[in-house]
Chains A and B, each alone.
Chain A
């Protein structure tokens, strides 16, 4: 039994070595495409600063408040601000040159100060956005909230004649009882008196940021920590890209495997194989093992390239990485056998199986990380084997998780493989 099995494996490896297209498909294509996606995911490099969101602000107000908002936005590290007219800003958004344009209408500063005391008659801050950049719209809105609150509150509490007038008019116009109006007036007077004081010198070595803002500032400072497997380990976008692309191409190779089996059957080769005293299980086992070995070889070569050139590292368990890679290759090979089992002809099965692969890749997070999916889709993706393969490879690389994590992914992948092979054995059309 061993001689036929090893012969079948050796023959398939030999055929692979003589097939230039197969070598390109399983080695060169995943490396090239993963390198491209890795470059994109890494923002042009692991250590580079994040790309700024290009926005435009149309300041039709020109008040102290609006100028302060503009200044805050211009100094924000996440934004690149151009000052344009409202019409020109809208045109730039339409053309896709910028993602978001903010129009600060005339009278915004005073209206915002009045609305500060009563929630009525709040002025509108108009956001014009590119619908294909919805995520950026949310980010810009959040960032500007901070600067609007700071600017408006700083104006309200500045104690100048204009702010005092606005405060008094707002209190008089309110529906508060007289005693409550007095208390509010006292509160504003006290705040204005406080903010009119010159800033205290801070302790030696501290910056001005250590002192209260001149308005209502954000009551916290964001401290960002990328959580990876260690303090000195940074996220490497190439790790995700290589995980996704290598899984993609071993699945495409699996489609080729299935089509190859059907072609061999069409060419009468399976008659010769089956006339030999070898069992059907052994024939399928030979194909599965050889395809698994080739898939594993492809995964290991691609990741070796990623390590050598793009600094991808296995921060988790090396044994776990090999285990997940082997289980992924086994799953892909079994998928190829399944294609051969349910397909009638190579021509008929090619389109359907490629569609299945594309859906698996899309839902499995090969093209974009699965955390970007809606919650229900994230849950659904756990029934897709590619999700386990990609998560498992990422867990062993930049996430730096342990062998137990690899065992979970590998067990899931092996489970899928067993199901695929079971269906294949059940449905395989042995009779030509």
Chain B
């Protein structure tokens, strides 16, 4: 289980994250939403150990995350928003490299690569250079790279940006599979329909603070029912809670 407890982080005068707390449980997909500049990226960076919080702690299965080389990081997988891949290398070479960073080697590494490529449907393209891949294939490989070491917790930072509906659908299937395997998934996106499809629970942050932490049904109940009498969409809930003014 992943737990953020009272995380705070400032950059000079700017308080990017101001007392954020939430939990992600095994077999659960938590949607993390927020307008631009709300503190999502900073929160993800603290959860993965990229930056240290000024205050608060990150707990991985009850153990605090400390330092760059904390073995607890073995339990976390990151799928960054950027296509963090070496374009000139093959998919296989990329995965061998990223797997080795988690001390995977030999048969264990090859087995993990086979499993990850199989999950994202790229087994046939394993030897091709990443630069020859389509955008969707790169996104799926990006996901595979985060899964290699079989982490208990997967942090996905807008993992479907710029992909076609087929690849997006494939990624959704992968995530459902992972959830079914008991992984704890934290998912950020600006696509509200994705969160509506996938998330069991949603945390909305704004101006560095958590302003809502609830199920989709619970969030809908926070705003008045529309005239149609149907449940409010997540987008209308989100805009209702965070306002419609531009943030950047």
Contact = CB atoms under 8 A, between A and B. Distances in A.
Interface residues of A, number: 28
Contacts of B211: none
Interface in B66-96: 67-74, 76, 78, 80-86, 88-89, 93, 96
Contacts of B89: 11, 14-15, 18
Given A6-B100, A7-B97, A7-B101, A271 B88 contact: no
A269 interface: yes
B102 interface: yes
B48 interface: yes
B82 A268 contact: yes
Interface string B135-167: 000000000011000000000000000000000
Contacts of B45: 271, 431-432
A280 interface: yes
A3 B108 CA distance: 13
Interface string A11-31: 100110011000000000000
A3 B82 contact: no
A277 interface: yes
A286 B72 CA distance: 22
A267 B71 CA distance: 26
B22 to A, nearest CB: 19
B63 interface: no
A240 to B, nearest CB: 36
Contacts of B80: 268, 271-272, 275
A14 B94 CA distance: 11
Contacts of A6: 100
Contacts of B86: 11, 15, 269
Contacts of B68: 274, 277-280
* B89, B97, B146 — most chain A CB neighbours (10 Å): B97
A4 B103 contact: yes
A274 B83 contact: no
Contact of B102 (A271, A276, A279): A276
B69 A271 contact: no
B82 A267 contact: yes
Given A3-B103, A431-B51, A275 B78 contact: yes
A272 B70 contact: no
A19 B78 CA distance: 28
A287 to B, nearest CB: 13
B161 to A, nearest CB: 12
Given A7-B101, A271-B50, A278 B88 contact: no
Describe B's contact surface by its main secondary structure: loop
Contact of A271 (B67, B70, B73, B84): B84
B98 interface: yes
A125 interface: no
A430 B67 CA distance: 13
A3 B74 CA distance: 14
Interface in A103-147: none
A15 B76 CA distance: 27
Contacts of B129: 18
A304 interface: no
Contacts of B146: 272
A277 B71 contact: yes
B34 interface: no
A273 interface: yes
A275 B48 contact: yes
A3 B97 CA distance: 10
Contacts of A271: 45, 48, 50, 78, 80, 82, 84
Contacts of B50: 271, 274-275, 430-432
A278 B83 contact: no
B100 A3 contact: yes
Contacts of B76: 275
B105 interface: yes
B88 A19 contact: yes
B39 interface: no
Given A277-B68, A277-B71, A277-B74, A268 B49 contact: no
A305 to B, nearest CB: 26
Contact of A18 (B67, B70, B88): B88
Contacts of A275: 48-50, 73, 76, 78, 80
Contacts of A277: 68-74, 101-103
A276 B73 contact: yes
A8 B80 CA distance: 20
A7 B145 CA distance: 15
A273 B101 contact: yes
A271 B93 CA distance: 19
Interface string B94-135: 001110111111000000000000000000000001000000
Contacts of A269: 82, 84-86
Given A274-B48, A277-B70, 9 more contacts: A7-B97, A10-B97, A11-B93, A14-B89, A275-B73, A277-B71, A277-B102, A278-B101, A432-B45
Q: 8 closest A-B pairs (Cβ-Cβ)? A: A268-B82, A7-B100, A276-B101, A277-B73, A275-B78, A272-B84, A275-B48, A11-B97
23 contacts: A3-B103, A4-B100, A8-B97, A11-B86, A11-B93, A14-B89, A271-B45, A271-B78, A271-B84, A272-B84, A272-B146, A273-B101, A274-B48, A274-B50, A274-B68, A275-B48, A276-B73, A277-B101, A277-B103, A279-B67, A279-B68, A430-B51, A432-B45
